Amino acid sequence: MPLDTDFTLILIARMVIAAGFVLAATITAERAGPLVGGLVATLPLGAGPVYVFLALDHGATFIGHSAINSLAINSVNVIYALTYARLAQTRSVGVSIGVGLMVWVALAIVVHAIPWTLLTGALLNIVVQTACIVLARPLRHVTIPRVATRWGDYAVRAALVALLVGITVTASFHIGPEGSGILAVFPIILISVQFILHRRVGGRPSAAVMANAVTGLVGFALACVVLHETAEPFGSVIGLSLALATSVAWSFLVFGLRKRGIDL
């Protein structure tokens, strides 16, 4: 069997696996309200499978370096989530996502042009996330009405995630760890949640999920730091596992504090 055929079949399998994983997780999130929805949406559901496949193709050193740029671009994702949440109060889904994406692209170009280190990436996240959490806080507490399950919506979401995996894994051979780190965390999960929820339940409930996602993305930033520090010395499996555990632990921490009345 030709090598390009092998690569195509493996790539398709990876896309299907990643889409199925995201689909199962986000169905649960949509039924649990804006807090859980926002926290689950910011778990590394899209970036995680991409990083697993990047590790298989390129090794631990590659993903360790990629994590630095993922850390930097995470701050752009925070701004994107807040931009959408603000616009969705009164604007259509097209305008809210469209303007948010324009902001994301502009900032991502700037981020890609800067040689990031762990320190500068961490400082950027601290400044951006602190400001955005404060601005997002008034938008968090909106009830999401019960809606009927539409499997077509879930199929669209799964297809978007699969597309991201396919593009990132294929492009990683040409754009290197820096570009891969940015592309791996393109906010495809956030966009798919926004697109589906906005149309089904309205802008304000969808915005509430994104307002909670702003806090959830702190966990993703911490996961990037852990991945960068552990992937090379301990290997891809341990590094990725610790990064995932860090993100999940942050979500449980935020959930527990909110239940105790601490509005983190």
30 lies in some domain: yes
231 lies in some domain: yes
Nearest to 137 by CA among 79, 210, 197: 210
173 lies in some domain: yes
124 lies in some domain: yes
The number of angstroms, rounded, from the C-alpha of 133 to the middle of its chain's C-alpha atoms is 16
Count of structural domains, the chain = 1
Domain that holds residue 228: 3-259
195 lies in some domain: yes
Phi (first) and psi of residue 15, to 5 degrees: -65, -40
264 lies in some domain: no
Question: How big is the chain by its Cα radius of gyration, in Å?
Answer: 17
What does each of the 264 residues of the chain score in pLDDT, given as a tens digit?
A: 444 665 676 677 767 777 776 676 667 766 777 888 888 888 887 788 788 888 888 889 989 888 998 999 999 999 999 999 999 999 999 999 999 999 999 999 999 889 999 999 999 999 999 999 999 999 988 877 776 666 776 777 778 777 877 777 777 677 777 777 777 788 887 887 888 788 888 899 999 999 999 999 999 999 999 999 999 999 999 999 999 999 999 999 999 998 888 877
Please tell me the pTM assigned to this model.
Answer: 0.86
123 lies in some domain: yes
Is-contact 182 168, C-beta < 8 A?
no
